[in-house]
Amino acid sequence: MDSWFVASISPVALLLAGLLSTAGMVLLYLCWRRKNGPVWLWFAWGIIAVSIWPWQRALGFDRGIAVAPLWLALVAFLLIAGGANWRAALRPFVIHTGRSRPAEQIPWGRRSLRWLLAGPLYLLATTGLVMGWFAQSQWSDANRLVGAALFLVILWPLAIVWSSADPRLWRPLLACVTLILGGCALIYRVGG
């Protein structure tokens, strides 16, 4: 049974989008294999970028943007699978147990503080910041609400990455405290 969701698709634009995306990805693959110069590399990325337009023509503005990376990923996986040495892949591998080496010991307290910072503290800090923005923003309620949700789920992961990777823990800690205070000040100013 045909899907209702494909009834409005333009087949010509879809074919063009598929061909352009595939051509761009194949070119990217050839550049990688033959170590071609940056001109070809940029050309390949250019074709991929241009292919977004027929994807949008075929499927609609937002659906086109959603489907294009799926297709690119599929073509990339096919190219990787096609170039892989499957004979070697079918052999089992052996994992040798190495000699025990003294590992760098991170103090338990420091490790806990890092996780505490990345998890609950930065959740509080980014929520505070986002709520501060919500209070200050002149956008409509719907835009502020969805904007706040999106900011939160992007800012918090960025903070997690930073606080779990920065060797000087005091920097993310200081930023966290500043964000919490800043967020509270913004909310207080508006009287939330």
Partner 1 sequence: MARGNGARSAFVRLALNGHSGLGLALSALLYIVVFSGSVAVFYPEFERWEQPAVPEFTEWQPGAISRAASAIMALEAKRTDEPPDHLFIALPYTDMPRFVVHAGESGAFADPVGRLGAPVNHEWTHFLTDLHLRLSLPSVWGLTLVGILGVGLVALVIGGILAHPNLLKDAFSLRWSGSARLRLADVHNRLGVWSSPFALALAITGAVIGLSQVLGFVVATLFFEGNTEAATESLFLSDPKPTGEAAPLANVSAALETVRSLSPEMQPNMIIVHEPGTTAQRVEVGALVPGRLVWSEFYALDAEGGLLESAGWSDGEPGVQVYASMFRLHFGHFGGLSVQLLYLLLGAGLCTCVAAGGSIWLVRRRQRGMPYPRLERAWVGIVWGAPLVLILSAIGWFGWAWQPLYTFWIGLLLSVVIAVAIGDRVYLAVGLKLLLVMAILVLLCLHLALFGLDAVGPAARLINGLLVVSVLLVSLRVWLELRWIIRDASTTLSLRSSGQAADS
Site for partner 1 in 64-93 (CB under 8 A): 66-67, 69-74, 76-77, 79-81, 83-86, 88-93
Verify binding: residue 55, partner 1, rule CB under 8 A.
no
Q: Is residue 25 within 8 Å of residue 48, measured between CB atoms?
A: yes
Nearer to partner 1, 46 or 157 (CB): 157
> Of 23, 52, 113, 135, which one interacts with partner 1 (CB under 8 A)?
135
Name the residue among 39, 12, 16, 15 with its Cα closest to residue 27: 39
Do the Cβ atoms of 174 and 119 come closer than 8 Å?
no
Element (H or E) spanning 179, and its range?
A: helix 170-190
Q: Which one, 50 or 115, has the nearer CB to partner 1?
A: 115
How far is it, in rounded angstroms, from Cα 3 to Cα 125? 45
The sign one gets for the Cα dihedral 128, 132, 135, 140 is: negative
CA–CA distance, 65 with 70 (Å, rounded to integer): 9
Task: Quote the least distance from Cβ 7 to partner 1, whole Å.
Answer: 7
39 binds partner 1, rule: CB under 8 A: no
Contact pick of 50, 116, 158, 181 for partner 1 (by CB under 8 A):
158
Sole window of 15-23, 46-54, 129-137, 172-180 interacting with partner 1 (rule: CB under 8 A) = 129-137
Should residue 53 be labelled a site residue for partner 1 when binding is judged by CB under 8 A? no
